[in-house]
Amino acid sequence: MKELHISSQRRNQMIDITDDVQQLVKEEKISEGSVIVYVPHTTAGITINEGADPDVQQDIIDTLEKLIPENAPYHHSEGNSDAHIKASLLGSSVTILIANGTLVLGTWQHIFFYEGDGPRHRTVYISINKNR
């Protein structure tokens, strides 16, 4: 298992980690298999979406903020209930296939770490699995 260490700069942020994950796959010299990208934090998530236009990431953040506002009357008293809900909607992991040593992603797809309660320092775990 490998680790990525990520530092967010804002409360809500999407950070493209595609190149980092691809580099780990390359280092392992795995031609065929899969990779699991997992975040063990309850106010952060992992998702795959368009990476070519940064407006898409901002639209995702803006829409999540409209649907799940930071200052709604939540029961949880830490002030980050919205981040817990957003992280649950996005999910804590993705699985990506590996073919010819490369992540199998669509033309515009990138892997994003979503921060919902930043700025923070976070760890993302990467499990690279070789086909037998």
Question: How many independent structural domains does the chain possess?
Answer: 1
pLDDT digits (tens, 9 = 90+) for 32-64: 999 999 999 999 999 999 999 999 999 999 999
CATH number at residue 41: 2.60.120.460
pLDDT digits (tens, 9 = 90+) for 59-114: 999 999 999 999 999 999 899 999 999 999 999 999 999 999 999 999 999 999 99
Q: Structural domain of residue 126, as residue ranges? A: 2-130
Calpha distance 110→129 (Å, rounded):
20
Is residue 18 a contact partner of residue 105, using CB atoms and an 8 Å limit? yes
